[in-house]
Structure 1
Amino acid sequence: MNFIKKNAYLLVAFVICLAIVSCSQSPQKDKKEVHTILTGRLTMVVDESLEPIVEDQMIVFEHTYVDADITLKSEPEKRAVNSLLNDSVKVAVLARKLTEDERKFFEAKKIIPREARFATDGVALIANRSSNDSTVHVDDIIKKLRGEDTDLSTLVFDNPNSSTVRYLQELAGIDQLPEDGVYALSSNADVIRYVYENTHAIGVIGINWIFQPDPELKDFVEGVKILGVKNQTGSKGDDDFYKPSQTNLALGTYPLARDLYIINCQGIKGLGLGFSAFLTGERGQRIVLKSGLMPDSIPPREINIIE
């Protein structure tokens, strides 16, 4: 009897050990599947002209919060907004706010979009370094876009669906680009290459592509120059030709400035909210400052005085 009991105890002990080992080897739930403001997975769309600064922010954010996984999709503005509206993404970084109709679309779905401004960008005009052009007047840009006579050279945009096209169309009060003398390519990188190879062209791009070029674009960027822009009479910046520097963006003297927003339509306290808080917080604003754009709020500087 004692022998039987002893073997029974050993069998029970073996089963318990087997269960413990089995539990310890069971797959752990991926922390990136747990959705909070600092964990989980997020697909975010960004206006192609703003890609460099958003990519920098994403890299630092993911390095800081290792359980956060953000996939970045770069698209022209119209496609980026359509991605929001067709529900393929929930978060976007754009050079404008949502329109009233777009907000109503989300509100009808019981979602209140959260819009947060995080920087001011400049739409830059660039020319080949050997070009005689070094300045341009806003009036000439408007005339060119309206198809009127002007001495302005060929104007080249990044994409027909881009935010830069929309921005300058609104400035000129037109619905579409003229057929002659104004062309749209595929991307900001294409514009930089085109201007590098053509002395007669003036390119229209997001300034971040000049301040933070991709390694393969570095030689092309060194072969172009940023033009000074003078505003229309009666508007701020009409007294001189200004370039899109941080100082001129801060003072409002650069005529072609635009605010940048992160738009969160998740409807929950998810990773989009966390990334938005990072962008608008001190660390994100320091990244904006370092990028050459104008942060929405100037990060404080700490000065240590050694006695």
Structure 2
Amino acid sequence: MIRSMYTKLYGWLGTLVISAAITACGNNTESALPTDTREEGTIHISADESFKPVIDAQVAVYESSYPKTKIIVHYKPEAECLKDFGVDSIRMVIATRGFTPAEEKFMTDSFKVAPKYSTVAFDAIAVLVNPTAPDSLFTVQELRDIIKGTSPKKLIPVFDGVRATSTVRYIMDSVLRGDSLGPSVVAAQTSEGVVDYVSRTPNAIGFVGVSWVGNRQDSTQLSFLQKVKIAHLESRDLEGKFVQPVQANIYVGRYPLIRRLVYNLKERHRGLGNGFASFMEGQRGQLIFRRAFLVPGTLKLNVRPTSISE
């Protein structure tokens, strides 16, 4: 009889433990389900610091349109952003390139997600000089010599860092083409720091994303343009002409230092990340890029032929 009582007791306890385990598993499964939608919720994304002004504008308009959403942007040098391909909590990475096949395989295998990327705008590297600088016309070869430290002009190149940033990577790949940065290169902490350094240093030459200085309707950027001057670079298709990084010159490929603005999305469901990506690709997002004086990636621009007076 005692054995029978113990048998019943152990059977009852076993049933209780199994039920509790099933309930716990059910709760874990439920808590693991995504709770955000295109119109509600909070997500974290990572973005190249050189795109901060225009991405801030995109997020502000999206959150204003959908008040129950919160997009938390972590601005970093591009190399740090690309590391976030391996961080599950980061839904989107905004950089100057899309993921590689190896990075895609890693995300697919690790997070069971089908990542995608899209070029939503075209940006350029603006070259800045002090307002008192005697020279504001440069060829790409002259820039190369200045950055290497072999130019007779003895200007001080300043970047938003000396490694890991998209600006430095672009210059290394497209201007230096395998050569190293010269010993006179200076690293500022941010793009705004580049503007400040050039404004205080008569023989400095700075390199920033055009979204920091291209919008003359923005009060902050207008204040920057009162402290520095945007240089003219030799046109890629008009011999003897020098042009600035304005939309028309970026659109037709006339300006020599052009790069992409790309979102990399890694979201398991059609949530807030998908909503923000679609917004940037759509008409409203594309108009925000255009108002920031970048070239929209999916919206066609009408470019009228004009004479070059730059």
Q: TM-score, normalised by structure 1?
A: 0.79
Question: CA offsets, 1:231-277, max 9 Å, x none?
Answer: 5xxx5455421110001011110000111111111232121111000
Displacement of 1:215: 5.6
- Counterpart pick for 2:160 among 152, 158, 161: 158
Counterpart residue number, 1:174: 178
- Counterpart pick for 2:127 among 125, 145, 158: 125
What RMSD over aligned residues (CA atoms) do the two structures have, in Å?
2.3
Displacement of 1:68: 1.4
Counterpart residue number, 1:80: 81
Give the conservation status (yes or no) of the 8 Å contact 2:212–2:221. no
SS in 2 for 1:108: helix
Question: CA offsets, 1:105-155, max 9 Å, x none?
Answer: 213323222101111101000011111121111012223344434436111
Q: Which amino acid aligns with 1:114?
A: K
Counterpart residue number, 1:254: 255
Question: CA offsets, 1:77-116, max 9 Å, x none?
Answer: 1111112323341211112222333223213323222101
SS in 2 for 1:130: coil
Give the conservation status (yes or no) of the 8 Å contact 2:123–2:260. yes
Distance 1:300 1:82, change over 3 A: closer
Structure 1: runs of 5 or more not aligned = 1-32, 302-307
Counterpart residue number, 2:189: 186
Counterpart residue number, 2:64: 63
Bigger mean CA offset, 167-176 vs 278-287 = 167-176
Counterpart residue number, 1:36: 37
Q: Which amino acid aligns with 2:200?
A: E
Give the conservation status (yes or no) of the 8 Å contact 1:237–1:252. no
Bigger mean CA offset, 264-273 vs 162-171 = 264-273
SS in 2 for 1:164: helix
Displacement of 1:166: 0.4
Displacement of 1:182: 1.4
Displacement of 1:216: 6.2
Distance 1:278 1:217, change over 3 A: closer
- Counterpart pick for 2:228 among 218, 224, 228: 224
Hey, what's the Cα distance between the residues in 1 that align with 2:268 and 2:211?
30
Hey, what's the Cα distance between the residues in 2 that align with 1:236 and 1:276?
34
SS in 1 for 2:153: coil
- 1:278 equivalent in alignment to 2:282: no
Q: Which amino acid aligns with 1:174?
A: G
Hey, what's the Cα distance between the residues in 1 that align with 2:86 and 2:230?
35
SS in 1 for 2:243: coil
Q: TM-score, normalised by structure 2?
A: 0.79
Hey, what's the Cα distance between the residues in 1 that align with 2:181 and 2:208?
16
**How many pairs were matched up?**
265
Hey, what's the Cα distance between the residues in 2 that align with 1:68 and 1:293?
26
Hey, what's the Cα distance between the residues in 2 that align with 1:154 and 1:61?
40
Give the conservation status (yes or no) of the 8 Å contact 1:236–1:255. no
Displacement of 1:45: 1.2
Q: Which amino acid aligns with 1:131?
A: A
Listed as ranges, the matches of 1:132-151 within 5 Å are: 132-151=134-153
Hey, what's the Cα distance between the residues in 2 that align with 1:256 and 1:216?
23
Counterpart residue number, 1:8: none
Distance 1:246 1:105, change over 3 A: same
Hey, what's the Cα distance between the residues in 2 that align with 1:139 and 1:152?
14
Hey, what's the Cα distance between the residues in 1 that align with 2:61 and 2:220?
22
